[in-house]
Amino acid sequence: MSTSKKAAASKATPKVERFIVLLRHGIAEEATAEKKDEDRGLTKEGHARMKEIARGLERVLPKAQAIYTSPLLRAVQTALWVSKGYKSRANINTTDALAPGASAKQFRAFVDSIAERRVIIVGHEPNLTRSMAALTGADAAKLELKKGGCYGVRILEDGSGTLEWLLPPRVLRKLFPR
């Protein structure tokens, strides 16, 4: 989609109350000199935990309409588990606005362009916590998401946001017992 078409689509997005989940990717491979950061995938443990977390997340937000993810491998793999947790009812979309290093301004423009009312956003720290704080006005100095943890944020019609919850991965895993 061209930049002008994106801008037009953004302006056409109706201002309605929305709920977004900001989910940190699962446990990933360690960074090495031989592997680019964007090519680091989930570990075996990361895959197993994200399978459980995705099922728990589906219980918390059962009517998610879309999943947006950073293009990095570990985030895409996390999004795939989330999609499976939703029995593929929510489509996966990648966006550079969720990549490490994306600015808060890029993130806000992206959130403002989302048409769906209930979405899951898969990304990275510290971007997710900074973005949550920018949306809600919360003090992020003492907050950090563990891998597989998430924030639940309500975006009101006027664009302001409220942090409704923070769920660590162990809580999400316990919501859907094995």
Provide the domain limits for residue 99: 14-174
Burial environment of residue 100 by CB neighbours within 10 A (0 to 12, 13 to 18, 19 or more): middle
Q: What are phi and psi of 41, to 5 degrees?
A: -100, 180
Closest CA to 85 of 59, 111, 116, 119: 59
Task: Give the torsion sign (CA, 68, 157, 168, 61).
Answer: negative
CATH number for the domain spanning 153: value is: 3.40.50.1240
Answer yes or no: is 129 within a domain: yes
Domain count, the chain: 1
Residue 112 pLDDT grade (very low, low, confident, very high; cuts 50, 70, 90) = very high
pLDDT of residue 148 exceeding 60: yes
Share of residues in the chain with pLDDT > 70 (%): 91
Closest by alpha carbon to 155, among 169, 172, 174, 136? Answer: 136
The predicted model gives 46-65 an average pLDDT of 95
- Which strands, in side-by-side order, build the sheet including 118-123? 91-94, 66-69, 118-123, 18-24, 150-155, 161-167
In this model, does residue 2 exceed pLDDT 80?
A: no
2 within some domain:
no
Residue 6 has pLDDT above 60, yes or no: no
| pLDDT score, position 4 | 39
Cβ atoms of 159 and 170 within 8 Å: the answer is: no
In a domain, residue 1? The reply is no
- pTM beyond 0.85, yes or no: yes
Contact between residue 41 and residue 140 where contact means Cβ atoms under 8 Å apart: no
